[in-house]
């Protein structure tokens, strides 16, 4: 008994492995068309190098951020699938409503994704590791978008995605647009004086963003001084009422889609402990749609514009 | 001599445990004031069940138990505790309690709303420990005492309750020969000197014979015999109920001069 | 020193420590030192901040005391030193209630009532009501759970301890499953998910007067029960029939204890989320130090629990930021950052981190003695 069982297990296992291997080698999702510049290898900032065999025509966006970037770089026909959340959380939900023919998936799960027979998956680094491993085991390259600490990082990201999808020209155009918009904002704000700002969210506990995250850069470029960063806070950290009261910023930035009627804005305006804040008294609450504020794509510039408009109405952006 | 008013009564009481085990089958007993009644019988004959029913800790499925004229069902636990003190044969020993603290709990039924022990309560508890012969180890922890010592403390607690009726379940089972005798004599004294009514369930036929006024012999949930020790402990009766052969004799000296038999089990009866 | 005197001494020390710790917590917190007297003299921001700090300290003391008292009661009721108020299903019920509240009212209950005010600026009372919506739902969930457990455990007019344990277990599993299902269904809504996670961690920050009031009302009720169940729990330790024979109405006592546990735990969890280990650890600690009977055990547990959580707040939210500041000024940037982050760790996490090994040590020493 002691010999038979492990032996059977080994035999079973090797047969299984062989079958899996066979499937991989005999399968090629797409016809290998000769595309200029392909195959190419990319050095990923956050992971191992990937090799893309041919121009990807069946691209899966693993999350909304990836979908946002890809949307402006590639022809919609090249999308194999996008997450179902795009209709709510993407930067341009209308686009996705207009292209209802693109398949949607609810969960980023290996079997489902592989069912779309993708030749490229674009994801962010916080996707489930074992799912990614399963996809990569089927020789499907996954491009990971890196988190970045400042808006400059977006340029690299867009360039990388452009290179991976063979859309370098479109990527360069987007980057140029991005830079231009940032420059416009900077110009408009040249004459204005920076105001003090705290980024705030409260879903039971108050949180703010200090230095080293994208939101900080957004605030700075929008003509604000992030008091949390000034006080040495790094990353997303809790912020008590006490600390907020002491800092007493000119403006408080929250995320929301309905202006001052947004839940987070109402939280700040109605909290009795905060009513002595200047920002509350003057109703200087800047509300930014969350899809812009947490955007990992070129649309982060919309956040800059939105914040700048509210912090400096005199700049007439 | 006992008065002839009944202070504790079970009338046609039946108790069935889950699993259709009939513990008591239409049993009626009558205990008179100042008596010492012993409940004897083999294991499973229903002695403990009868005792618990008489204490009001268990309500029978049919029939009624009256304590001093009132049905046990309508009495609150506090009212019952003032009338009846019940001493179990085995109970969990609470940790971190000294014998005197344990005994003091017996005063619970007499406490005021705020549950504070008065000096009077403490005096009574001390006296109870004395009478039960447990004063020597009053300040020791209950967990440190031997079984026999613990039994005496439990008796002390029952005495501290100052209830006129004392129900004891195997009060001498853990005691050595000498203390069995002393404790039984002590219990007898409670009846004679203090007028308490005592009902004790016991395995010890000879102690029952020596000290009890009356006996109830139970078998399989019914009363097989009742009466004085002489009337109940007949050779015939014992051989039928216990299914043993007995040697038989009479005590030369008895507490009240009446004739009381002693019995010695010899061998189990061959079926 | 007799045990009795030792208990009194410990009680006195704790009673003295509580106001001292409150002063400490009022003087030092995230933004540095303020004289506690400012709450009386200063009508500006300093006074207000000290008031905020005091509310937090009051909540900490109330929650710590309530949880510890609940633990002592549970250990007495179940006659088991490993008992915890959570066994009754109260924490599960509270969690589920809060989650349902969050799901229905949105990420922050305050917004529900805000439209009621004139010109979009609701009165303080109404916004306070809104803020209380989630804790209220948690309370409802907790008391409902306790009621269900009680109901399932009554057998033939007696309250069966085994049934309470089983019913509590069943209810906790049910609540856990329901919460997991709800979370999965609501995963899409970022706001709600964040609110749920936030609630799960528990917090003592930014608590207001109403929070402190709720906690202390619950604590007051449970403390008031002590004279009526303390002695009785001692009696119950020898068994139900033993206690009954002495005159104790066991069903009423168990009900009272259950209500006490449910109330104290429900208010604590509803207002400040899950804070673990206090209910389990503190009665053990008290038993080791004072070896008292249930009456003093419960009182001392309350005082110890209050002191414990208050110390956590005073040290973590008071001294650590101060330390961080000093280190930063002295040029030790990394250590400064480390201490700053340590100061933001939720109290529930701290109690578990320190409570678990401490409890283990206690257990090992206990078994060695025997």
- Cis-peptide into C176, omega within 30 deg: no
For C227, the closest of B76, B94, B114 (CB atoms) is: B114
Q: How far is C157 from chain B (nearest CA, A)?
A: 11
pLDDT in tens, A177-203: 999 999 999 999 988 899 999 999 988
CB neighbours of A308 closer than 8 A, spacing ≥ 6? A185, A188, A189, A221, A222, A223, A315, A317
pLDDT of residue C320: 85
Q: What is the mean pLDDT of residues B14-37?
A: 90
pLDDT for res B77:
92
pLDDT at B239 over 60: yes
Q: Locate tokens 């599993």: which residue?
A: C173
Tens digit of each residue's pLDDT (9 = 90 or more) over B154-198: 999 999 999 999 999 998 887 888 888 888 988 898 888 888 999
Mean per-residue pLDDT over chain C, rounded = 82
- CB environment A142-160: b (16+ within 10 A), e (fewer): bbbbbbbeebebbbebbeb
Identify the CA nearest to C202 among candidates A245, A209, A238: A238
A164 compared with C367, residue with greater pLDDT = A164
Q: Are C168 and C89 in contact (CB under 8 A)?
A: yes
What is each CA distance from C233 to A89, B89, B191, C74, C221, in whole angstroms?
A: 57, 21, 32, 10, 18
Mean pLDDT of chain A: 84
Give the mean pLDDT of B148-152: 87
From the list C39, C61, C57, the residue with the least C-alpha distance to C48 is C39
Alpha carbon C288 to its chain centroid, in Å, reads 22
Query: What is the predicted pLDDT for the residue at C306?
Result: 95
* Nearest to B168, CA basis, from B121, B130, B207, B110: B207
Q: How far apart are CA C324 and CA C326, in angstroms?
A: 6
Render B79-110 in DSSP notation, one character per residue: HHHHHEEEE-SS-PPPTT-BHHHHHHGGGGGG
The average pLDDT across B193-221 equals 92
Q: Tell me the per-residue pLDDT of C32-44, one tens digit each, with 9 for 90 and over.
A: 788 877 777 777 7
Q: Worst-scoring range by mean pLDDT, A15-19, A236-240, B3-7, B205-209?
A: A15-19
Instruction: Give the Cβ contact number of residue A174 at 10 Å.
Output: 22
Complex ipTM over 0.90: no
pLDDT per position as a tens digit, C274-302: 787 888 889 988 988 887 789 989 999 99
DSSP state of B16: E
Q: In this complex, do C245 and B95 lie within 8 Å of one another by their Cβ atoms?
A: no
Residue C279 · residue C265 · CB < 8 Å: yes
pLDDT in tens, A104-153: 988 888 888 888 999 999 987 666 677 888 888 888 888 888 777 788 88
Q: Say yes or no for a CB contact (<8 Å) between C52 and A242.
A: yes
User: What residues of C are in contact with residue B101 (Cβ under 8 Å)?
Assistant: 293
Q: What is the pLDDT of residue C120?
A: 43
For chain C, domains (ranges, CATH) are 3-369 (1.10.3470.10)
Domain edges within chain B: 6-68+164-268, 92-163
Q: Which residues of C296-325 are buried (b: 16+ CB within 10 A; e: fewer)?
A: bbbbbbbbbbbbbbbbbbbbbbbbbbbbbb
Quick one: CA torsion of B108, B109, B111, B112, rounded to 10 degrees? Answer: 140
Domains of chain A: 31-177 (3.40.50.1980), 190-315 (3.40.50.1980)
C53: nearest CB among A242, A248, A276: A242
Å from A7 to nearest chain C CA? 40
pLDDT tops 50 at residue A30: no
Q: Which residues of chain C have pLDDT under 50?
A: 110-122, 370
Host H or E run for residue C58? helix C45-77
Q: Which residues of C touch A93 (CB under 8 A)?
A: none
Using CB atoms, pick whichever of C234, C241, C246 lies closest to residue B97: C234
Does the beta-carbon distance from C31 to A276 stay under 8 Å?
no
Separation of alpha carbons B159 and B148, rounded Å: 17
Is the pLDDT at A223 greater than 60? The verdict is yes
Q: Which of B55, B95, B105 sits opposite C235 (nearest CB)?
A: B105
Short-list C280, C245, C249, C270, CA closest to C78:
C280
- The residues, ordered by sequence, that sit 6+ positions from A14 with a Cβ below 8 Å of its Cβ are none
| Among the listed residues A105, A75, A72, A70, the one whose alpha carbon sits nearest the alpha carbon of residue A87 | A105
Percent of chain B with pLDDT over 90: 51
Question: Is residue A259 over pLDDT 70?
Answer: yes
Tokens of C289: 């130090």
Asked if A204 and C108 come within 8 Å (Cβ–Cβ), the reply is yes
Phi, psi of A223 (to 5 degrees): 85, 30
Note the CATH number of domain B6-68+164-268: 3.40.50.300
Question: Which tens digits make up the pLDDT trace of A58-86?
Answer: 999 988 888 888 998 889 999 999 998 88
């Amino acid at each position: 008994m002691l010999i038979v069982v492990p032996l059977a297990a080994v035999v079973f296992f090797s047969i299984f492995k062989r079958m899996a291997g066979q499937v991989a080698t005999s399968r090629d999702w797409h016809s290998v068309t000769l595309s200029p510049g392909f195959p190419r290898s990319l050095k990923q900032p956050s992971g191992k190098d990937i090799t893309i065999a041919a121009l990807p025509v069946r691209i899966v966006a693993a999350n909304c951020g990836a979908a946002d970037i890809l949307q402006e770089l590639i022809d919609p026909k090249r999308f194999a699938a996008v997450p179902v959340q795009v209709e709510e959380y993407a930067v341009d939900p209308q686009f996705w409503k207009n292209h209802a023919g693109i398949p949607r998936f609810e969960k980023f799960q290996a079997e489902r994704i592989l069912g779309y027979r993708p030749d490229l998956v674009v994801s962010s680094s916080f996707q489930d590791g074992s799912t990614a491993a399963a996809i990569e085991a089927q020789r499907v390259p996954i491009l990971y978008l890196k988190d970045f600490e400042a808006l400059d990082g977006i340029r690299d990201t867009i360039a990388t995605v452009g290179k991976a999808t063979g859309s370098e020209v479109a990527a360069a155009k987007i980057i140029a647009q991005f830079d231009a918009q940032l420059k416009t904002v900077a110009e408009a704000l040249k004459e204005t004086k920076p105001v003090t700002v705290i980024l705030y969210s409260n879903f039971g506990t108050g949180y703010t963003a200090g230095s080293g995250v994208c939101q900080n850069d957004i605030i700075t470029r929008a003509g604000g001084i992030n008091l949390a960063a000034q006080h040495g806070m790094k990353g997303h950290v809790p912020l008590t009422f006490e600390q907020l009261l002491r800092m007493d910023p000119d403006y408080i930035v929250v995320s929301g889609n309905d202006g001052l009627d947004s839940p987070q804005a109402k939280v700040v305006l109605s909290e009795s402990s905060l009513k002595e804040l200047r920002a509350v008294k003057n109703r200087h609450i800047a509300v930014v749609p969350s899809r812009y504020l947490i955007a990992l794509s070129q649309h982060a510039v919309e956040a800059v514009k939105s914040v700048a408009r509210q912090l400096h109405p005199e700049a007439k952006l | 001599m006992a008065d002839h008013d009944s202070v504790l009564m079970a009338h046609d009481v039946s108790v069935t445990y889950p699993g259709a085990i009939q513990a008591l089958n239409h049993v009626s007993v009558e205990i008179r004031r100042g008596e010492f009644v012993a409940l004897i019988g083999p294991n499973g004959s229903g002695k403990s069940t009868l005792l618990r029913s008489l204490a009001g800790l268990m309500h029978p499925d049919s029939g009624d138990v009256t304590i001093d004229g009132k049905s046990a069902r309508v009495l609150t636990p506090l009212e019952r505790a003032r009338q009846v003190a019940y001493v179990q044969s085995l109970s969990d020993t609470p940790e971190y309690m000294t014998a005197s603290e344990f005994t003091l709990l017996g005063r619970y039924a007499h406490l005021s709303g705020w549950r504070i022990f008065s000096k009077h309560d403490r005096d009574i508890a001390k006296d109870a420990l004395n009478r039960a012969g447990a004063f020597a180890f009053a300040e020791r922890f209950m967990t440190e005492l031997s079984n026999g010592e613990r039994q005496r403390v439990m008796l002390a607690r029952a005495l501290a309750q100052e209830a006129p009726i004392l129900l004891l379940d195997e009060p001498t089972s853990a005691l050595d020969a000498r203390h069995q005798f002393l404790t039984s004599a002590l219990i007898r004294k409670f009846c004679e000197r203090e007028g308490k009514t005592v009902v004790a369930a016991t395995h010890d036929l000879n102690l029952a014979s020596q000290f009890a006024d009356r006996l109830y012999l139970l078998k399989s949930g019914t009363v097989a015999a009742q009466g004085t020790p002489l009337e109940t402990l007949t050779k015939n009766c014992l051989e039928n109920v216990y299914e043993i052969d007995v040697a038989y004799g009479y005590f030369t000296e008895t507490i009240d001069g009446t004739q009381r038999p002693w019995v010695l089990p010899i061998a189990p009866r061959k079926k | 020193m007799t045990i009795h005197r030792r208990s009194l001494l410990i009680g006195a020390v704790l009673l003295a420590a509580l106001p001292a710790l409150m002063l400490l917590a009022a003087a030092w917190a995230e933004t540095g030192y303020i004289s506690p007297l400012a709450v009386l003299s200063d009508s500006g921001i300093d006074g207000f901040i000290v008031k905020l700090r005091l509310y937090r300290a009051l909540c900490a003391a109330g929650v710590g005391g309530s949880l510890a008292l609940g633990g002592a009661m549970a250990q007495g009721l179940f006659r088991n030193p490993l008992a915890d108020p959570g066994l009754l299903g109260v924490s599960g019920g509270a969690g589920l209630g809060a989650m349902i509240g969050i799901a229905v009212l949105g990420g922050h209950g305050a917004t529900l009532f805000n439209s009621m005010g004139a010109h979009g600026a609701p009165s303080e009372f109404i916004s306070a009501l809104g803020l209380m919506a989630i804790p209220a739902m948690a309370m409802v969930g907790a008391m409902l759970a306790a009621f269900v457990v009680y109901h399932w455990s009554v057998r033939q007019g007696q309250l069966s301890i085994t049934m309470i344990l089983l019913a509590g277990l069943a209810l906790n599993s049910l609540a856990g499953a329901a919460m997991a299902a709800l979370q999965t269904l609501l995963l899409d809504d970022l706001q709600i998910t964040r609110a749920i996670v936030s609630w799960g961690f528990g917090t003592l920050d930014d608590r207001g007067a109403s929070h402190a009031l709720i906690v202390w009302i619950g604590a007051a009720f449970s403390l008031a029960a002590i004279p009526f169940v303390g002695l009785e729990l001692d009696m119950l330790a020898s068994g139900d029939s033993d206690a009954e024979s002495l005159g104790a109405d066991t069903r009423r006592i168990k009900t009272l204890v259950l209500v006490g546990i449910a109330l104290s735990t429900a208010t604590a969890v509803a207002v400040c989320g899950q804070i673990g280990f206090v209910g389990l650890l503190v009665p053990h600690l008290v038993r080791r130090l004072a070896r008292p009977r249930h009456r003093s055990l419960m009182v001392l547990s309350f005082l110890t629990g209050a002191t414990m959580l208050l110390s956590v707040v005073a040290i973590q939210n008071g001294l650590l930021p101060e330390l961080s500041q000093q280190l930063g000024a002295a040029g030790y940037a990394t250590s400064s950052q480390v201490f700053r982050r340590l100061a933001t760790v939720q109290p529930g996490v701290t109690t578990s981190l320190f409570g678990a090994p401490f409890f283990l040590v206690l257990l090992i020493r206990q078994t060695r003695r025997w």
